[in-house]
């Protein structure tokens, strides 16, 4: 049952936003702290890139925040509004962490719950080499987090976001005390 559902979601995403093997996609993310440009790897993470591009083209990320910031680890966003309300998402996607891409500094990966195949809209940018997040096998505890891109410009902006003061808010820890807003995410054609 779960397998059929996952296959149906993959087919839906493949039809909704095509990602052509061998291509990369440039994304420009404008934040309240500056611009971050990312190159997404549609060859090695086609479903994940299609998912991210779909959210971007729908304007889903506009007005969301980086809601989890941990120095020497990562900055996470793409799911909560400034008032810490979680946004409704499309169904989860299949985890593509077995694509050979590593959670190294400056890479972009999908956030998820403890279920390896639960990623929807949230993503994170690694601010440190996080080898413990890499794919190690197909068991629930070894799946890892799917890397699907890399910051190509604006790593200085990522570092500024990483350095903001954080605290507890709405029952969550590591939340920036002053919201870091994702003003827009533009797919550069």
Looking at residue 22, its pLDDT comes to 57
- Measured CA to CA, the distance from residue 48 to residue 40 in angstroms comes to 9
- Measured CA to CA, the distance from residue 121 to residue 64 in angstroms comes to 11
pTM of the predicted model as reported, rounded to 2 decimal places: 0.89
Query: In this structure, what token pair is assigned to residue 6?
Result: 């996952």
**Out of 3.40.190.10, 2.40.100.10, 1.10.760.10, 3.30.420.40, which CATH number does the structure's domain 2-188 have?**
2.40.100.10
- Measured CA to CA, the distance from residue 134 to residue 112 in angstroms comes to 13
Query: In this structure, what token pair is assigned to residue 88?
Result: 């409704």
Give the other-Cβ count within 10 Å of 121's Cβ.
26
Could you read off the pLDDT tens digit of each residue along the chain, which spans 189 residues?
A: 444 444 344 434 444 444 444 589 999 999 999 999 999 999 999 999 999 999 999 999 999 999 999 999 999 999 999 999 999 999 999 999 999 999 999 999 999 999 999 999 999 999 999 999 999 999 999 999 999 999 999 999 999 999 999 999 999 999 999 999 999 999 997
Looking at residue 8, its pLDDT comes to 42
Looking at residue 133, its pLDDT comes to 98
Domain parsing of the chain, residue ranges: 2-188
Looking at residue 2, its pLDDT comes to 42
Query: DSSP for 105-167?
Result: TTEEEE---SSTT---S-EEEESS--GGGS---SSTTT----EEEEEEE-HHHHHHHHTS-EE
Query: Is the separation of the CB atoms in 98 and 135 below 8 Å?
Result: yes
Looking at residue 82, its pLDDT comes to 96
Give the other-Cβ count within 10 Å of 36's Cβ.
24
Query: Is the separation of the CB atoms in 150 and 38 below 8 Å?
Result: yes
């Amino acid at each position: 049952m779960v397998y059929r559902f996952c296959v149906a979601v993959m087919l839906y995403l493949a039809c909704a936003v095509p990602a052509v093997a061998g291509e990369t996609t440039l994304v420009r993310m404008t934040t309240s702290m500056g611009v971050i440009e990312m190159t997404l790897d549609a060859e090695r993470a086609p479903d994940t890139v299609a998912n991210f591009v779909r959210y971007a083209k729908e304007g889903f990320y506009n007005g969301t925040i980086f809601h989890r910031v941990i120095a020497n680890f990562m900055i996470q966003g793409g799911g909560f509004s400034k008032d810490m309300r979680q946004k409704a998402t499309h169904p989860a996607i299949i985890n593509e962490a077995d694509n050979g891409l590593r959670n190294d500094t400056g890479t972009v990966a999908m956030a998820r719950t403890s279920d390896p195949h639960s990623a929807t809209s949230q993503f994170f940018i690694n601010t440190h080499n996080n080898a413990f997040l890499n794919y190690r096998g197909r068991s629930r505890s070894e799946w890892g987090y799917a890397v699907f891109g890399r910051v190509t410009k604006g790593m200085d902006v990522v570092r500024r976001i990483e350095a903001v003061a954080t605290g507890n808010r709405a029952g969550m820890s590591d939340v920036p005390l002053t919201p870091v807003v994702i003003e827009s995410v533009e797919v550069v054609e």
